[in-house]
Amino acid sequence: MRTKIVAGNWKMNNEKTETSSLIYALNSQGDFGSTRVIIAPSYVHLAQAVSLTVDTEIEVAAQNMHEATSGAYTGEVSPAMLSSIGIQTVILGHSERRAYFGENDATLAKKVTNALDHDMDVIFCFGEELEDRKSGNHFEVVKSQISNTLFELKSAAWSKIVLAYEPVWAIGTGETASPEQAQEMHAFIRNLVQEQYNGSLANQVSILYGGSVKPGNAQEIFSKQDVDGGLIGGAALSAADFTTIIKSI
Ligand code: PGA
């Protein structure tokens, strides 16, 4: 059975006390069953988040990392630094990183490799723009993002990869892909992985949906066969909403 995952990407939100209050509130919600629950606060609060979630069901992830192991990269954070404070998962390829910070497939392939070299799990994000969907190119765009970045990996590396389909037009816009659109794309992605690798590997990889998932639509989206959970932005900033979404699985 595939692992169900709900991950909250806090983006550039929450100061120190808000970070601890939100974590306390999530911890008090208790039992998330077999669902893997991940939060991704900003770099400056990661160590604090790790210590507040010791012995809880909540895991802490980073929102990004640099592709090099160390060196003269002012302002950047390496995978070794993250693992040294207990971070075992990193989100890579978020559309905001691609759009505002110029991350492309080549950079992301290096980041993925370096994260894996540090034994980290990767939540790899990708998704089409509105124009791609309008022009019917969405499958091609998603295919090239995944294949350019991940298809050089050895099969064994895929146990550390989680895929997150995030149509850019649905992120922070209040607009979601319909459950049918999400399922159609997720099935397409699973099939791509099957063609490149094999059926059992494709069956094992968790594919998350992201883009305006809210308490009111989570259950319907998560009910789809190839949707294994969600990557949540705005709604992850409220303990009540995030918990409702987790429990919708
Ligand atoms: P959203 O963000 O839930 O606010 O649309 C999703 C994301 O960016 O991962």
- Concatenated DSSP letters for 19-32? HHHHHHHHHHT---
- Specify the residue with its C-alpha closest to ligand 1, atom 6: 233
Give residue for tokens 């019917």: 136
How much is the pLDDT for 137?
97
Which residues of the chain are modeled with pLDDT < 70? none
How much is the pLDDT for 246?
97
Is the dihedral angle over the CA atoms 110, 116, 120, 126 positive or is it negative? positive
How much is the pLDDT for 174?
82
Question: How close are the terminal C-alpha atoms of the chain, in Å?
Answer: 14
To test ligand 1's pocket by mutation, which of 9, 209, 214, 244 has the most ligand atoms within 8 angstroms of CB?
9
Strand partners, 125: 164
Backbone angles phi, psi at 176, to 5 degrees: -115, 155
List, chain by chain if needed, residues with CB within 6 Å of any ligand 1 atom.
9, 166, 171-172, 210-213, 231-235
- Count of other CB atoms within 10 angstroms of residue 119: 10
Report the predicted TM-score, pTM, of the whole model to 2 decimal places: 0.97
Backbone angles phi, psi at 63, to 5 degrees: -85, -10
How much is the pLDDT for 215?
97
- Specify the residue with its C-alpha closest to ligand 1, atom 2: 233
Q: What is d(CA 117, CA 69) in angstroms, rounded to the nearest whole number? A: 10
How much is the pLDDT for 1?
81
At 227 the three-state DSSP class reads coil
Q: Is 197 exposed, middle or buried (0-12, 13-18, 19+ CB in 10 A)?
A: middle
Q: Are 208 and 164 in contact (CB under 8 A)?
A: yes
**Catalytic residue chosen out of the listed positions 94, 118, 138, 186:** 94
